[in-house]
Every structure is written in structure tokens, then in C-alpha cells.
Structure 1
């Protein structure tokens, strides 16, 4: 299988599980603490690797010890990190998740501009795009950076997967093959509630498959068909990372030659497995 390139965030994930949130000026005990490689880009790259596909990550780490540790973990996970930029003088990104027993979560994150990708970073990573079968682009990165990566992916005739919503998606939609968004992001893209008709209009812009979160599951629309798949019926410990597992599995399935319905079911299955454990690590 051809290699997948994932462009997105790399960060240290710190998950704190607690039975109650403290009132201001008080404290509470943490029942479990997890520290690991995280960030949407790294999570998706690890998920692709765990699905047995070769993968390269394009991201930014600081030049600190934390960056050293996270890159070592990514390599151990089977992720190629030769295109990860080390930003001099920057601290590697940090995401703190506070997780309650009922699955509710809160994030505190330190992701300053220094650890976001720039068009220059994309240009420097150009070699990893050569021969790539798929390029997965997260729209939480600066718009000009994502556009630069999309153009490079298109020049290499890779399958282009957009993850999220952009303020001005015009050029990106004209380049993308697949668009994935959660319910909130999908409403921004569509200008209203997610419906089959609205989603199908995006296909006129170029994408051949859209996958949008809806209240009762995930809606998939492609030329000639649509499919609504409910969420899995297993226990939900933590929904963090479910979308990353979903997007990675969808990308790998399509790259493997699966049709829309098969790829959709594989994506939902991966997402269902992800919610059964704490943290965003797939």
C-alpha cells in the first residue's frame, strides 16, 4: 500500500481522570494519569500505522526534551517523523484533558503559533509527498499552510482528505477527494443543519465522498448513494480521539481500494473502538 502523509498537530497529551472537579480555591484527587504522544496529527498518524499502512507525519515539535520523547514514541509506533520540524526556542505543544467518570471532558491546551506549520515547513517536507497515495490535511492548521500542502498533494496525484472546516474552503474543496467533519464543523461548511441534499451539493465542488457527523451517527454521501451509520453501541469512556480514528480508518480503507460503503463501515468501527478507552491515543 502507498504511504499516507498526515499534516497536523503534534503535542504532549496529559489525561487526568477525576471523580469531581474542585471548586475555586480547593483541590481534588486524580484517579489516573496518562501522558503520551498526542495532537490530532500524531493521533491520526499512529492510527494509520496501527492499521498496517506506512505513514509520514508533517508537524512541528519544540527543541525541548518533551519533543525528543514524543518523536521517539512516534518512531516506536511506526510513524516516519523525518518531516517533523524542530522549532528552535519553542516548547512542544501541550494538551491537558480533564476527564470525568461519565465521559465528559474539558481541554486546556498550549498550542502557540510557534508549533503551527507554515508554508515554508510544507516546502521543506516536500520529499515525503513524492509518491504518497493519500494526504490527510487537518484544517486546524493555518489556512495558507493547508492550501500549500493541498497543492503539493494534488501535484503528486494523491488522494486528498480534508479533516475539519475552513473559513474559506473554496480552493481546498476544489482539490479535495474526501471531506470529513464533525457535526459542528459540518454545519459551518454547509451553512446549516447537515442534510443529504446539502452534503451532495459539495460533490459539485470536486470531492467524491463526504463524511459528516450528525446527532445520531455519521452521514456518508457520494455520487449515486448515501449511508447513515449509527454510533457503536459499546460503552463510551472518552470520545476524545474518536474522530481521529475514524478519519484514519476511512483514509486507509479508500487507499486500499474499498468502496464508499465498506470504507464507511470500517471508519465507524474504528471510531467505536476508540471511545472505549481514555485519551485520544488510538
Structure 2
């Protein structure tokens, strides 16, 4: 059985500048090369879910421009349902500039554009789609008000809601109460809870703080170390697979999308789903680009059996 996954999120055309090392303030450096690819946290997560055989649909917005056409084509290539991707003439399609150094680390600057111009009407118009989903994922590259409206609809229909609070921002009122699972990295988690993530004890404290906010289930990703999880029935840590990273862009998104394809609604298989998600993201970081780097189930099985 494969999950029906709906992603409410961002669609960005990524421009990656390949550099030797990050520039210092005020410094001008030469880029070694430049590449363009489809991206955005929402698109990355949807493609990761689709390549892991989830029946995937997208809720989002692009501009009426060539970049928007490019993003729609990219989603359709992975057989993602785009019936609920709106086209606006008010804003251009979202974009991102990524600085990628030789160590594989990146800095990202995002222009929201059509993503940030989304309104709650997008969620309301998508109620039939959301109602048919097993899992609804959203991030913070689109307005939180739209996510809140969509999550409320999801809860009315019994769909599981997964929130990726990235880029980190304070949750608006009501959003925690309709979030089944929150998946921040250690920096985002600390921003939301005020508790630095340094060890297992501090992760437990973060989970307790999220519970007090109304979110009972937490996964905290800690880069190449792995992922911590805490649910109503279990907690633990799943280590990452050791690989040499070329490009960490989309690693976290691959993790969430792959995870969403495998997770049971009751979270009973959370540890196994996390292992699979770690396998997927370990392959992503060994490749260049966002969407092009995301592996299929077949590629994951070929590497990890």
C-alpha cells in the first residue's frame, strides 16, 4: 500500500553558484560555474514522495512566466498531480540563489514571489484533494495562514499533517493544535522552543516543549548525525548513513518526502520509515542540484538492499 501524499508548498527555480568557499562580508569572489534546476522545499518534498511511489499531488502557485511553465513541467515529469497549482499574474514564480562551496555546504537566498502571494482560498478550493489524502505536508516558504487553513481541513477528514517549519519562524496561533508531526532541524527546533539542541537530553526537552505547544510527535534532524524522534509511544535516535557529501541542497526535503511515503497514520513504523528516509537523503547529498539529486525507491534499494 502506498500513501496518498499532498504537499502544500513552494515552487522555485534554483540558480546555484559553485564557489570555492563562502565569501566574507564585503568580499567579491568569482563563481566557478552556474547551474539552474527546479526546486523549492515543496517541490523537492513532493518529488521525493513521488519517487518513493507515493501517489502525490501538489497545492501551490506559480507566476504566468517561463519559470512557472518550467516548474509545472518538472512536477508532471514525476507524475505529480498539478490540478491544484494556481497561476497568478500578480507575482513572478519563486526563485532561489544557492551558494555552494567545495565542502558541499550551502547558503540559500529565497525570493518568495507567487509562493508568498498564496491566500487561504487556495486551501479551501483544494478541500476535495486534501480530504482524500493520507498525509498533508507543508513548510514555511508559503504563508502560515494557508497552511493553517489546509491543516484544519485535513484534520476534519482524518489526514495526517506534517509541518516542516523551515525557514524557522514562530508558529501562528492555532497551527500547533492541528499539526500531528513537526519535523525541524536542530536550528529550527531551537528557534521554536528556545532550547539549544546539543544532546539527547536537550532533544527530549525540545519534544516536551513542543508537546506543551500542542504537538505530540516530533522528529528533529541533525544533519549527518541522524534523526531524533519522539511520539506518544516511542522515542529514539536513528543514525545517518556515512557518505561524502557533494551538495546538501534538498537533503532535508528528500528526508521528509521519502518518510511521508512510508509512514503509517498511527506512526507505529516511525523508526523503519526514518531509516528509509535517511537512506534516501544519503543518496541526495552525493549528487548535485535539488530535484535532479532525489533518488527513486529502486535506486535506494540498489544501494541499501
Tell me if TM exceeds 0.5. Answer: yes
User: Whole-Å Cα distance in 1 between the matches of residues 115 and 238 of structure 2?
Assistant: 39
Q: Match of 1:49?
A: 50
Q: Match of 2:5?
A: 4
Q: Deviation per CA, 1:189-241, whole angstroms, max 9, x where unpaired?
A: 22212321431453466545310134743211122322122332100111111
Q: How far 1:277 sits from its partner (Å)?
A: 1.4
Give the TM-score of the pair, scaled to structure 2: 0.83
User: Whole-Å Cα distance in 1 between the matches of residues 246 and 252 of structure 2?
Assistant: 14
Cα distance change, pair 271–20 in 1 and its aligned pair in 2 (3 A): closer
Q: Which runs of 5+ in 1 are unaligned?
A: none
Q: Does 2:177 align with 1:174?
A: yes
Q: How far 1:2 sits from its partner (Å)?
A: 4.0
Alignment of 1:216-227 (within 5 A): 216-227=225-236
Q: Deviation per CA, 1:41-63, whole angstroms, max 9, x where unpaired?
A: 01101111000111111111000
Q: Match of 1:211?
A: 219
Would you say the 8 A contact 1:243–1:271 is kept in 2?
A: yes
User: Whole-Å Cα distance in 1 between the matches of residues 62 and 88 of structure 2?
Assistant: 6
Task: Give SS of 2:273's match.
Answer: helix
For the aligned residues, what is the CA RMSD? 2.5
266-275 or 256-265, which deviates more: 256-265
* Residue of 261, 266, 270 corresponding to 2:271: 261
Q: Which runs of 5+ in 2 are unaligned?
A: 295-305
**Number of residue pairs aligned between Structure 1 and Structure 2:** 281
Q: Does 2:229 align with 1:228?
A: no
208-217 or 57-66, which deviates more: 208-217
Q: Match of 1:96?
A: 97
Alignment of 1:1-282 (within 5 A): 1-19=2-20, 28-31=30-33, 33-112=34-113, 115-164=116-165, 165-168=168-171, 171-194=174-197, 195=202, 196-203=204-211, 207-214=215-222, 216-255=225-264, 259-281=269-291, 282=294
Give the TM-score of the pair, scaled to structure 1: 0.89
User: Whole-Å Cα distance in 2 between the matches of residues 235 and 173 of structure 1?
Assistant: 36
Cα distance change, pair 152–255 in 1 and its aligned pair in 2 (3 A): same
